Chain A
Amino acid sequence: MTTTISRRRVLRGAMDGGAVCVALPFLDCFLSGNGTALAATGTPLPVAFGTWFQALGFTPGRWLPDTVGRDYQNKAELKVFDPFKARMNLISGSKYFLDGHPLATHITGQQIGMTGAIPTSLASAPSIDNLVADVIGTRTRFRSIEVSLDGSRRSVSIRAGSASRTPAEPSPAALYTRIFGPEFKDPNAADFTPDPAVMARKSVLSYVTDARKAFAANLGAADRARLDEYFTSVRQIEQQLDIELQKPAPMQWCLRAEGVTEATPGGVTTDVEINNRLFAKLLGHAVACDQTRIFNVLMQESQGGGGLRQAGSTESWHGWTHEEPLDDKIGYQLQVAWFVEWANKTFFDFLHELESIKEGPGTVLDRMVILWQTDHGNARTHTMDALPIITVGNGGGRFRTGLHISIPGDPTTRVGLTIQQALGVPVNSWGALSNQTSKTMTEILA
Chain B
Amino acid sequence: MMPLLPARSRHRRGIATAAVIGIACALLPISALNAAAKNATPSSLPEAEFRRISAEQYRNIIHDVFGPTVELGGRFEPELRLNGLLAVGASSIAATAVGMEQFDAIARSIASQVVNQKHREQMIPCQPAAVTAPDDACARRFLGKVGRLLYRQPLPGRQLDAHVGAAHVGAEGVKDFYRGLALSLGAMLSSPQFLFRKATLEPDPEQRGGYRLDAHAKASQLSFFLWNAGPDLLLLKAAESGELNSRKGLARQVDRMIASPRLEAGVRAFFVDNFRFDDTVSITKDVALFPKYNAQVMANAREQTLRTIVDLLLKQKGDYRDLFTTKKTFLTRELGAIYRVPVVGTQPNGSPDTWEPFEFPPNDPRGGILTQVAFTATHSPAGRGSPTLRGKALREIILCQKVPAPPGDVDFTLVNNTTSYNTARERLAAHATEPMCAGCHKIMDPIGLALENFDGAGEYRTTENGAPIDASGELNGVKFSDPSGLGRAVHDDPAAATCLVNRLSAYALGRVPANAKQPWVALLQKSFAANGYRVPELMRTIATSDAFYRVAPKGEPSPPKQKAAATTLPQPEIRK
Q: A: which residues have CB within 8 A of B?
A: 98, 101-108, 110-111, 118-122, 124, 143, 146, 151-154, 159, 162-167, 196-197, 199-201, 203-205, 207-220, 223, 226-230, 232-234, 236-237, 240, 266-267, 301-307, 309, 311-316, 318-319, 322-326, 380-384
Contacts and interface: CB of A to CB of B under 8 A. Distances in A.
Contact of A316 (B102, B381, B569): B381
A384 B408 contact: yes
B198 interface: yes
Contact of B158 (A154, A163, A211, A216): A211
B416 A326 contact: yes
Contacts, number: 296
B337 interface: no
Contacts of A236: 97, 100-101
Interface in B169-211: 169-170, 172-175, 179-180, 183-184, 186-188, 190-193, 195-196, 198, 200-201
B30 interface: yes
A267 B180 contact: no
A101 B284 contact: no
A229 B173 contact: no
Contact of B416 (A166, A201, A303, A324): A324
A230 B95 contact: yes
Interface in B49-106: 49-50, 77-78, 80, 82, 89, 92-102, 104
A336 B250 CA distance: 61
7 contacts: A102-B565, A105-B405, A122-B568, A199-B173, A207-B30, A232-B97, A305-B576
Contacts of A384: 408
Given A199-B173, A217-B41, A226-B92, A325 B417 contact: yes
Interface string B241-285: 000000000000000000000000000000000000000001110
Given A104-B566, A200-B170, A383-B409, A213 B383 contact: no
A98 to B, nearest CB: 8
A122 B100 contact: no
A34 B409 CA distance: 46
Complex A-B, nearest 9 residue pairs according to Cβ-Cβ distance, in ascending order: A200-B173, A220-B47, A103-B408, A314-B383, A233-B100, A214-B37, A211-B162, A305-B381, A210-B33
Given A214-B33, A319-B381, A105 B408 contact: yes
B99 A219 contact: no
Contacts of B415: 322
Nearest to A302: B573
B198 to A, nearest CB: 7
A200 B174 contact: yes
A215 B192 contact: yes
A237 B282 contact: no
B286 interface: yes
B389 interface: yes
B130 interface: no
B46 to A, nearest CB: 8
A220 B104 CA distance: 26
Interface of B: 30, 33-34, 36-38, 40-41, 43, 45, 47-50, 77-78, 80, 82, 89, 92-102, 104, 156, 158-159, 162-163, 165-167, 169-170, 172-175, 179-180, 183-184, 186-188, 190-193, 195-196, 198, 200-201, 282-284, 286, 288-289, 379-384, 386, 389, 405-413, 415-417, 419, 456, 562, 564-573, 575-576
Contact of A382 (B180, B288, B408, B456): B408
A204 B98 contact: no
A218 B158 CA distance: 18
Contacts of B565: 101-102, 104, 107-108, 111, 118-119
A205 B188 CA distance: 10
Contacts of B159: 211, 214
B30 A210 contact: yes
A325 B419 contact: yes
Nearest to A313: B383
A305 B82 CA distance: 20
Given A211-B159, A302-B573, A314-B289, A217 B381 contact: no
B180 to A, nearest CB: 7
A98 B96 CA distance: 28
A143 B571 CA distance: 29
Contacts of B410: 381-382
A153 B188 CA distance: 27
Contacts of B282: 151-152, 306
B457 to A, nearest CB: 12
Contacts of A159: 96-97
Nearest to B279: A304
B166 A204 contact: yes
Contacts of B379: 305
Contact of B383 (A167, A316, A382): A316
A166 B379 CA distance: 26
Pick the most buried of B34, B167, B180, B381: most chain A CB atoms within 10 A of its CB. Answer: B381
A128 B195 CA distance: 29
Contacts of A119: 564-565, 568
A213 B170 contact: no
Given A200-B174, A218-B40, 12 more contacts: A118-B565, A165-B568, A167-B98, A207-B169, A210-B30, A210-B162, A212-B192, A214-B36, A218-B41, A309-B383, A314-B383, A319-B381
B48 A162 contact: no
B279 to A, nearest CB: 9
Contacts of A219: 47-50, 198
